[in-house]
Amino acid sequence: MSKKYLVTGAAGFIASQVSKRLLDQGDRVVGVDNLNDYYDVRLKEWRLDQLKAYPNAENFLFAGLDIEDQTKLGDLFKAEGPFDAILNLAARAGVRYSMENPHVYLSTNSQGTLNLLECMRTKGCKKLVLASTSSLYAGQKMPFTEDLAVNEPLSPYAASKKAGELMSYSYHKLYQMDVSVVRYFTVFGPAGRPDMSPYRFIKWITEGETIQMYGDGSQSRDFTYVDDIAQGTIEAIQDVGYEIINLGNGRKPTSLNIIISKLEKLIGRKAKIDYKPFHVADLMETWADISKAKRLLDWEPQVSLDEGLEKSVQWYMDNRHWLKGVQV
């Protein structure tokens, strides 16, 4: 029997892929996005156009609204509910930009989550999947496990995501909501965010532009392909009580220098690099322990780094005619 889900941030990188997979299952999806201009809105519109033309697109309804607007969100719950689950993937992302504009991070990532929880409480929806971040693990011993204390966030972005986790825990305890918090680790893939290093590196190398490198390139990340992240997010819809679950590659992290080297071979061009001071709010390394995801969700990533980079480069080349104008 098909189910009905509310997916926030539906024009975003991860949520658009989650929505496609739910449609593949025969489920109905109400997608919400405010199409803000944090990065070039043409990318969001492209993803949304892909969704609207997707098989089973008759089961997809798009609502252009902001989860910060509690009144309009409540109207949507009333008009389109009940929902079997809410997948809150709407977020203001980006560590550095959160230092420039912290208020919008709090209003979206914290207040927006609270608005959803209140709508769930009043409309009787009991399942939330909440997207969170590996940025919370700053300064912790690797590989990162979910039971680590993450009480010293290095950026307003990380702090605002922690606030969303805590609020959802309160609603779990008070109102018996079932909550899966999924902490994402450096997601990459086709149609990715242009402020993330894989997208930036592909564009800069392809177009002969200089890579802006903060640090010496030795910083490492647990790069995880978007399709794997999307599947893990869907697996997290199951009943868990309240659980925080890492979704990452789980293998030894890869340095930015190695990513650049791999992309140089795929693209056939040598990178030009301008090294800048390491940013105070960045992490030197991230590495997920995904044993909990394996145990609870029967999930582990399927796409290798090399395969994911190859697909990402191919997507850029296929869409280069308009992507050249997208700011990174």
SS3 track for 157-225? HHHHHHHHHHHHHHHHHHHCCEEEEEEECCEECCCCCCCCHHHHHHHHHHCCCEEEEECCCCCEECCEE
Tokens of 243: 């659980």
Of the listed 5, 137, 157, 199, which one is catalytic? 157
Q: Give the angle 42-46-49 at the CA atoms, nearest 5°.
A: 135
Among 183, 266, 263, 187, residue whose Cα is nearest residue 225: 187
39 is catalytic: no
The percent of the chain in helix, strand and coil, each rounded to the nearest 5, is 45, 20, 35
In this structure, the number of other CB atoms found within 10 A of the CB of residue 324 comes to 11
| The residue to which tokens 């693990």 are assigned | 137
d(CA 20, CA 11): 11
Side-chain-side CA neighbours of residue 150 (13 Å): 25
Q: Are strands 220-221 and 210-214 parallel, antiparallel or unpaired?
A: unpaired
d(CA 285, CA 265): 24
Active site residues: 157
